[in-house]
Amino acid sequence: MANEGLWQQLVALEGQETAQRARCRYVAEPAQYVITLLNTEYEVSLSDKRVFSTPQGPKSVPAEFLEELCILAYLINARDLPLAGKLVKAEELPSGQFFFRGPHNLPTDKLEKIFGHCPEALLGVAGQFGGEKCEFGDASIRLNILPRVPMTIIIWGQCEQFPARASILFDPTAAAHMPLDALGAGVNLAVEKVIKAAGRSG
């Protein structure tokens, strides 16, 4: 089973306490968590070790591998902490300067390619993810990967003097709620979904 080690850790935890830490809901019968990832609600079934989106139509959809990874890692690690109220780069998170490099670089290049010529297009997709407009760069939004893990995307549009530039910033508490590999996976999921949404609305 994919993510078997994470499932073993999760089922050993006390449900209500875990839900409080993770700011989600726990249902005792049958045992499951209900949690929001990128504005989509998921049910985490402990009895059969499955994660699937809450049905919007006739049936639910199983979570993809990275979606499941992010949710399980978050439920296990999340802490009941207030946001620090400031923004930092991934490299400024504990051990981030060593992790977020090479193959683990954040996908800012994809954002630059899609939104660099039209930064305001980013604002058009914010609502689809429960996000909000910010006042950074030429366009910026804040959205929640998971309930306690916001991320901020900032775009500076290309011009004659400078190429497009994108930044992805976090609250300093992000690394307390997720291991860096799971956080990176969450960012990649978010960027893919934002770009896909922009393609649909463009």
Model confidence band, residue 199 (pLDDT cutoffs 50, 70, 90): confident
Residue 51 pLDDT: 96
Q: Give the C-alpha separation, 37 to 46, whole Å.
A: 18
Whole-number average pLDDT of the chain:
94
123 shares a domain with 71: no
Model confidence band, residue 147 (pLDDT cutoffs 50, 70, 90): very high
Model confidence band, residue 201 (pLDDT cutoffs 50, 70, 90): low
Backbone angles phi, psi at 145, to 5 degrees: -65, -50
Structure confidence by residue, pLDDT tens digits, 20-47 = 999 999 999 999 999 999 999 999 999 9
Of 77, 102, 120, the one marking the end of a domain is 77
Per the structure, the complete domain to which residue 150 belongs is given by 88-201
Residue 1 pLDDT: 56
Q: Which residue has the tokens 């006042």?
A: 135
Please say if the pLDDT value at position 4 is more than 70.
Answer: yes
39 shares a domain with 14: yes
180 shares a domain with 126: yes
Residue 194 pLDDT: 96
Q: Give the C-alpha separation, 200 to 202, whole Å.
A: 6
Please give the tally of structural domains in the chain.
2
123 shares a domain with 69: no
Structure confidence by residue, pLDDT tens digits, 67-96 = 999 999 999 999 999 999 999 999 999 999
184 shares a domain with 120: yes
The answer to whether position 82 is within a domain reads no
Contacts for 104-110: CB closer than 8 Å, 24+ residues apart: 104/180, 104/181, 104/184, 106/168, 106/184, 106/187, 107/187, 107/188, 107/191, 108/165, 108/166, 108/167, 108/168, 109/166, 110/191, 110/195
Residue 58 pLDDT: 64
DSSP-assigned letter for residue 90? G
pTM of structure: 0.93
The answer to whether position 83 is within a domain reads no
